[in-house]
Structure 1
Amino acid sequence: MTQHVEATAAPDQIAYLDAAAGTAVGLDYKQRFRAALDLSPGHAVVDIGCGPGTDLGRLADAVGETGTVIGVDREPRMVAEARRRFADRPTVEVRAGDVHHLPLAATSVDRARTDRVLQHVDDPAAAITQVRRVLRPGGVFGMAEPDWDSLVVAEEDVEASRRFSRFVAGRVRNPTVGREVARLSTVAGFEIRSVEAFPVVFRDFQTADQVLGLRRNSARAVEAGVVAEADAAGWIQRLRTGPFLAGFTLYLVTAQA
């Protein structure tokens, strides 16, 4: 009997961002990320590419009633949802804007963060320079970015796993930006405070499929002619039923203005 790879629809982006943040991996690295930012009451902090506001609440809790949290996103749907969620939080403001042209005055914030955003932007170097502009002297910029070239999926068909990993990396605009942000930040005039390589490890298929889109991207790889459908279907079936392990490296970098 011929196997067929099961295509799945792309998830709703808001639901995806919230779900990924709620996984054990998401909760772990985000807690480390907040700690690295060294937030204090009274700080003004900007979350660039804030999405539906997934992280704005915890940032607001950290800076307290005397602080300010500004979420910035270029997608109208994300801005609307974040504003809806935090309509009753006077210390949280959500602005429409792009990381290349931040809607903030020069030297106006104490902390800035991007969480898996620079991998998607047109010009990471220009974006980092923009962040340098809006930070006050001594301000801290935190970046959490993956290195998709490090993606691995443990499976007996090693070559199929490699083809999948290369295909996923090829769909990202800046797949290796995680390893590059420290260098780009130095060029922009920042002093690097810390660099941490955080291993993102999945031990169950369902969580990995939710975050990495194993079935969805396998179907896309078949459509692109990267892998034969029978090979992809067999690969997915073995991943679903056998012992599972997949992972990639996420870089957490903090830089000081």
Structure 2
Amino acid sequence: MHVDKHTMVPPEDLNIQFGGGDFLAVGREMFQFFRDKFDLQPQHKVLDVGCGAGRVAIGLTDYLEPPGEYHGFDTYPFGIEWCNERIAPHYPHFHFSISDVHNSTYNPFAQTKASEYVFPFEDDLFDVVVLRSVFTHMFPDDMLNYSSEIARVMRPGGHALITFFLLNEDSQAQQKRSGKGPAFQKFGLFYTENTEDPLDCVGYDEEFTRKMFAGCGLDISEVMYGSWCGRDGENMQDYVLLKKVLPL
């Protein structure tokens, strides 16, 4: 059955909440990325952490097929409501749920801390996990917990894509020359653009993130540096590609 994808494009005010841009084009780009980098197959299971209004999901709807599945969760209820109204009824193997986790912008009244949240999935389930612009709004303890949960729910040999603002000598030098990107200030273990609302835009030292992932059993297979600091790059944020270490 043909489904008009334009009926699944959220209104602009909702789209802007999750980065804006061409909603359908982003979905197509992410699908192609997963095919090229992770050898995504129709029967694979995909987890989208911080799925928003379904930008990643929309690119997978014509490809994943049972027993393949897509699961997305987000703290922002309006995005999940949109996905459950416009996407899930046409694709029953696509599932969207609210994670009732505290976020000062998207879910300020929730009680559960991100540093304590347990993903509602069994171990070793997913072939691909994606987090777009999630760790750019998290404290270190939150990020460490989520990284541990990602490693737990990924199958051995599975892949993950996580986007960052990575601070290193090159990005800081590029930013100094270009004058572009967030005006980051050191704030404890991370960098923020706004010390009054530090989670609005967060950056991390690349070395710190590498050690964190290694401690969780995740190998960095590639870093694709973004254009946020003024360098040339296909993507705005830095893309970190991870693989779950195979057991000995």
**TM-score w.r.t. structure 1 length?**
0.63
CA contact (8 A) 1:51 1:79 kept: yes
Correspondence for 2:210 among 173, 179, 182: 182
Specify which of 169, 187, 200 is matched with residue 193 of structure 2.
Answer: 169
- Distance, in Å, in 2 between the alignment partners of 1:40 and 1:84 is 26
Whole-angstrom distance in 2 between the partners of 1:51 and 1:195: 24
Stretches of structure 1 that go unaligned for 5 or more consecutive residues are 1-10, 203-246
Structure 2: gaps of 5 or more residues = 1-11, 102-113, 186-191
After superposition, residues 94-113 of structure 1 pair within 5 angstroms as 94-97=96-99, 98=101, 100-113=117-130
Q: Does 1:197 align with 2:238?
A: no
Residue 146 (1) aligns with residue 192 (2): no
**Hey, what's the Cα distance between the residues in 1 that align with 2:154 and 2:121?**
10
Select the structure that is richer in helix.
1
Structure 1 residue runs of 4 or more that deviate by more than 6 Å after TM superposition: none
Does structure 2 retain, via aligned residues, the 8 Å contact 1:50–1:71?
yes
Evaluate the alpha carbon distance shift between residue 59 and residue 31 of structure 1 in structure 2; reply closer, same or farther with a 3 A threshold. closer
Cα distance change on mapping 1:178 and 1:81 into 2, 3 Å: farther
- Percent identity between matched residues is 18
1:1-257 matches, within 5 Å, as: 12-17=13-18, 19-20=20-21, 22=23, 30=30, 33-34=33-34, 35-86=36-87, 87-97=89-99, 98=101, 100-122=117-139, 123-147=142-166, 152=175, 165-166=183-184, 169-170=193-194, 171-173=197-199, 175-177=202-204, 179=206, 180-200=208-228, 250-257=237-244
Computing the radius of gyration from Cα coordinates, the structure with the larger value is: 1
Q: CA deviation at 1:176?
A: 1.6
- Superposed displacement of residue 115, structure 1: 0.4
- 2:145 and 2:42 map into 1 onto residues whose CA distance is 30
Name the SS for the 2:58 alignment partner.
helix
Equivalent pair of 2:23/2:55 in contact (CA under 8 Å): no
Maintained 8 Å contact 1:141/1:254:
yes
CA offset digits 1:102-142 (Å, max 9, x no partner): 11112121111100111113411111101111111111111
